[in-house]
Amino acid sequence: MIIQRLDYSNDGFDAQLTRLLAREADTGEDLQSLVADILRQVRTKGDAALCDFTARFDGWRCTPEGMVISRDRMEQAWNAVSEQDRAALQLAADRIRDYHQHQIQQDWSYTDAAGMTLGQRITPLDRVGLYVPGGKAAYPSSVLMNAVPAVVAGVDEIVMVVPTPGGELNDLVLAAAFIGGVQQGFAVGGAQGVAALAYGTESVPGVDKIVGPGNKFVAAAKRQVFGSCGIDMIAGPSEIVVVADSGNPVWIAADFLSQAEHDEAAQSILISTDGALLKAVAVEIESQLQQLAREKIARASVAAHGALIQVADLTQAAEVVNVIAPEHLELALDDPDAMLPSIRHAGAIFMGHFVPEALGDYVAGPNHVLPTNRTARFSSPLGVDDFQKRSSVIRGSRQALDIIGGAAAHLAHREGLQAHALTIELRMAMKENG
């Protein structure tokens, strides 16, 4: 298989890179009308519409009672999975919890020269909805990455929805929900599951925010319900950039393919100063592709969106990385710390030869819910702050009002808002008169 090659020194490099990155994120824009109808029906008809869509799309006879996944059922699943499963889930949950505890913000305040005491109060969301992908694959790691930070943030209630084709529940997903702190779940998914979380039904409580990845129906639904509740992000296909100036071609090829096997629309890019290394990795990619169970998916991804990019030095490599703003960035370098200060845009950065991206997917600790499709230019990984909100706190005396009130009243008048100004002027006049 021929993998696209780019060279930073070529005159047309910038245009080539732009074309390479011009993937269309499948966020369901072509489904807006269909999804809007699903949302409307669930909003107006509640459980009846939710179960009707679930029966139609997931192929089982859904009832309000039958779609409930209780905490006891999650515990049953925890006890049913293997000891090795439990140990791995517990390790992951503990490490995710430890990492995210470092993100907790504290209330703060200060008193300025005017005598105003100003501050910020941090409070958690009351109830969060977790969307867990279902279908052909099970993603217990997604449960932990979304639920554990919410628990750390102090969210009172975490509600999970998960599609169950044929009505089959996945014990590994339910076990992750149990150890992750999910209070209740529902065996529904798709746009109808998002609608249930956003608006609430007779059985499913409405939530303040929906987090978690899904297919294009889910993405389209999340776009439309935003405003009725919050959402985390609209995630696109996965991506990885590996920067290597030396290293084992076998390892680098495996890292390159780690995202390609996700989805035909995923993107894998290798940037190197060494042309011989690029050639060796290309040979190894072909060899490893032939061994993958998901070869067809990975091969399509590499053919359509993969690339090998040669640069003269790591300064050029950093420039390219910052344009790509990748979801996952591996600095497979002997001295990754030398390059790190030059990296401005990346979702997660993996340092050195012994930290493959897959560690971050499962047990490293930082969140694997990351900005995709160049959105790392302006957004961040899912974290504790996604489950909290800030309130400004403003306290002042008459003396402080006397010092700053005149300017505020003047600005209010300049904006034509007389009542605004009056609220200040009445108080200042009262002080002057008595």
Measured in residues, the chain has a length of 434
Determine the residue type at 357.
E
Q: Provide the residue type at 162 as one letter.
A: V
Residue among 327, 353, 357, 368 flagged as catalytic = 327
* Cα 337 from Cα 335, distance rounded (Å): 5
Nearest to 91 by CA among 159, 180, 151, 183: 180
Which residues lie closer than 8 Å to 404 by C-beta, 6 or more apart? 114, 116
DSSP state for residue 388 in the 8-state scheme: E
Choice among 328, 353, 357, 368 that is catalytic: 328
CB 125 within 8 A of CB 391: no
- Residue 32 CB contacts under 8 Å (≥ 6 apart), including other chains: 220, 223, 224
Tokens of 26: 């499948």
Q: Is 328 a catalytic residue?
A: yes
Contact 239, 329 (CB under 8 A): no
| Cβ neighbours of residue 145 closer than 8 Å, sequence gap 6 or more | 96, 367, 368, 369, 382
Sheet hosting strand 348-351, strand order edge to edge? 4-7, 307-310, 267-272, 239-244, 328-332, 348-351
- Number of helices and strands (H, E) in the chain? 17, 15
Per-residue tokens: 172 = 């590994």
* Residues 119, 107: Cα–Cα separation, whole Å: 7
**Placement of tokens 């859904």 in the chain:** 62
Residue 327 annotated among the catalytic residues of the structure:
yes
**Hey, which residues are catalytic here?**
327-328
